[in-house]
Amino acid sequence: MNNKTSPRILVLGGGFGGLETAFYLRMRLGNWADITVISDRDSFFFKPNSIYIPFGLDAERLKIELDGPMKRRNIRFIQTQAHQIDSINKIVYTDADKYPFDFLVVATGANTYPEEIPGLEEYGHDIWTPQGMMSLRGAFEDLAREASVSHPKRVLFMVPPNNKHAGPLYEMAFLFDSWLNKNNHHGGIDIVWTTYEKDYLQDFGNRFDPIITEEFERRNITAYKDYEVERVEPKEVVYKNGQSVTYDLLVSFPPYVASTPFLGLPSDPRGFVTTYQESRRVIECPRIYAVGDITNFPVKQAYLAVLQADAAAEHIAAEILDTEPKIKYNHPVSMYVLDEVDTAIFAQIPLEVKNFYQQTAEVNEADPEAYRVGTSPVWHYGKKLLGLYLPQRFRAGKPLHSGLTWQGMEAGLKVISQVLSS
Ligand SMILES: Cc1cc2nc3c(=O)[nH]c(=O)nc-3n(C[C@H](O)[C@H](O)[C@H](O)COP(=O)(O)OP(=O)(O)OC[C@H]3O[C@@H](n4cnc5c(N)ncnc54)[C@H](O)[C@@H]3O)c2cc1C
């Protein structure tokens, strides 16, 4: 870019994708870029650890106020909601004002859409927001108080189609079971699990299924696969295969949609923005990128949002500095820890995109070096460590995937996963 003025880079969203992009760009470009982050909330929320809220964690501990880190990195922060993108004239319209840009990164994330399933919004609890997690805490405590051997109660966990990251619901079922055991509440409560999936956690390949089957058996959780919900009644879920399961408390992770559908960008029917694979640039929109849950990449995870943010930021930096991008999102390898407290499942998952436009991805199961899944109590502590380290990086205004500590941790994770995983 042969322009003497600083390029105006606008980032929409203050979540994993947005913050990683903004902090990476500041690190890469120094002060030679005018970076603005627009988000509708004044804080970042570390969602992965919100699974502990129903069991006592204070939700406030997962929040990072954005003002401090932004000032520290000389990034302008504007709290407002974006609702329209003019990709031709390069302007974002928000509730506060309109903002012109040279480069735009859209990282506004996903939302859940329980309305897609009749009855789910009325009768189901979900695990999407801190408020939802607090309400679940109350519901778990009430149930534990009311249940007894003579008055048994049932908690049904249910994964519907079009949920894009079922892992946290599996964690919730296991954590709930561990919580019941720890507090001697198990007498009157049974747990049932249903999922539309053919294999447990199928988005992460075929190696989770036997491990999770074993976990369900170990914990006496009755579980059914290939149960696609048709509708939810006040005390019963009815499935498309003709079966039904009764419940006293229903916990679900509803279908996903884009949190804000931007009509000015090419998107699928759920509002997920279509991007080129390696750069995360939006199809046919020069200098507009999208990262994280808002994109049509089929697996939606914080870890992947960060990898996508690094690729997008690298491509923007390369264009500005007239160099070659050092990071591409061609063969993403995800990492995931599914915590159960007494143990945890760790997975390193190489994902291959199979259909460019629809962005269907498959796990490259043939690559034994890259695809690893294993169980060990060590991973529980690994997840705790990550939960301390990652928010610290954002608090300091630094990208997650950089620096010596991260490189050391990543190398360590690879070695431990080779030792502990299959
Ligand atoms: C309970 C739970 C547990 C999870 N556990 C894990 C895990 O262990 N590992 C993992 O990798 N992933 C996990 N995830 C998934 C992970 O949290 C998401 O994939 C990740 O947050 C996506 O990041 P993002 O930046 O794309 O979106 P988000 O983090 O959702 O951020 C979007 C941001 O955009 C803002 N925004 C939205 N709309 C607008 C608008 N119109 N204008 C301005 N700002 C807007 C929002 O306020 C927010 O700041 C979990 C999710 C949940 C719910």
Ligand 1: which residue has its CA nearest to atom 5? 48
The model's confidence at residue 81, banded by pLDDT at 50, 70 and 90, is very high
Which residue of 38, 47, 127 sits with most ligand 1 atoms within 8 Å of its CB, as the best mutation to test the pocket?
A: 47
Same domain, yes or no: 52 and 149: no
For residue 290, report the distance from its CA to the centre of ligand 1, in Å: 13
Q: Pick the last residue of a domain from 206, 227, 255.
A: 255
Q: For position 63, which CATH number holds?
A: 3.50.50.100
227 occurs within a structural domain: yes
1 occurs within a structural domain: no
Query: pTM of the full predicted structure?
Result: 0.95
Those residues with Cβ within 8 angstroms of residue 381's Cβ, 6 or more apart along the chain or in another chain? none
The domain of 138 spans 114-255
Q: Pick the last residue of a domain from 255, 278, 312.
A: 255
Across 15-21, average pLDDT: 98
The distance between the two most distant Cα atoms of the chain, rounded to a whole number of Å, is 77
The tens digit of pLDDT for each residue in 275-287 reads 998 999 999 999 9
Q: Cα separation of 93 and 90, whole Å?
A: 10
Which residue of 165, 280, 329 sits with most ligand 1 atoms within 8 Å of its CB, as the best mutation to test the pocket?
A: 165
Same domain, yes or no: 284 and 410: yes
Q: Of all residues in the chain, what percent carry a pLDDT higher than 90?
A: 79
Report whether pLDDT(1) > 70: no
Q: Is the CB of 19 under 6 A from ligand 1?
A: no
Same domain, yes or no: 14 and 66: yes
Contact 345, 379 (CB under 8 A): yes
Report whether pLDDT(405) > 70: no
At 418 the pLDDT is: 66
For residue 150, report the distance from its CA to the centre of ligand 1, in Å: 42
Same domain, yes or no: 47 and 34: yes
H or E element in which residue 337 lies: strand 333-339
Q: Is the CB of 41 under 6 A from ligand 1?
A: yes
Q: Is the CB of 164 under 6 A from ligand 1?
A: no
Average pLDDT, the chain: 92
Same domain, yes or no: 102 and 188: no
Token output for 253? 């992770």
397 occurs within a structural domain: yes
Contact 124, 159 (CB under 8 A): no
Report whether pLDDT(3) > 80: no
Across 35-55, average pLDDT: 97
Q: Pick the last residue of a domain from 255, 274, 302.
A: 255
Same domain, yes or no: 95 and 156: no
For residue 59, report the distance from its CA to the centre of ligand 1, in Å: 15
Across 36-51, average pLDDT: 97
The tens digit of pLDDT for each residue in 172-227 reads 999 999 999 998 877 799 999 999 999 999 999 889 999 999 999 999 999 999 99
Ligand 1: which residue has its CA nearest to atom 26? 292
Which residue of 112, 127, 301 sits with most ligand 1 atoms within 8 Å of its CB, as the best mutation to test the pocket?
A: 301
Map residue 61 onto helix, strand or coil.
helix
Strand intervals (E) in 31-188 = 34-39, 43-45, 63-65, 76-79, 82-86, 91-94, 98-100, 103-106, 110-112, 124-126, 153-159
For residue 130, report the distance from its CA to the centre of ligand 1, in Å: 12
At 357 the pLDDT is: 60
Q: Is the CB of 257 under 6 A from ligand 1?
A: no
**Range of lowest pLDDT (15-29, 84-98, 375-389, 403-417):** 403-417
At 331 the pLDDT is: 86
Ligand 1: which residue has its CA nearest to atom 31? 15
- Which is higher by pLDDT, 250 or 149? 250
- Which is higher by pLDDT, 39 or 341? 39
At 362 the pLDDT is: 76
Same domain, yes or no: 143 and 288: no
Report whether pLDDT(354) > 80: no
For residue 370, count other CB atoms closer than 10 A to its CB: 16
Q: For position 142, which CATH number holds?
A: 3.50.50.60
Of ligand 1's listed atoms, the one at least distance from the Cα of 83 is: 41
Contact 73, 26 (CB under 8 A): yes
Q: Cα separation of 113 and 252, whole Å?
A: 11
At 4 the pLDDT is: 64
2 occurs within a structural domain: no
For residue 363, count other CB atoms closer than 10 A to its CB: 23
Identify the residue whose tokens are 């954005």. Answer: 66
Of ligand 1's listed atoms, the one at least distance from the Cα of 260 is: 41
Across 14-27, average pLDDT: 97
At 173 the pLDDT is: 98
At 232 the pLDDT is: 98
Give the chain's domain count. 2
Across 299-311, average pLDDT: 96
For residue 161, report the distance from its CA to the centre of ligand 1, in Å: 19
Q: Is the CB of 50 under 6 A from ligand 1?
A: yes
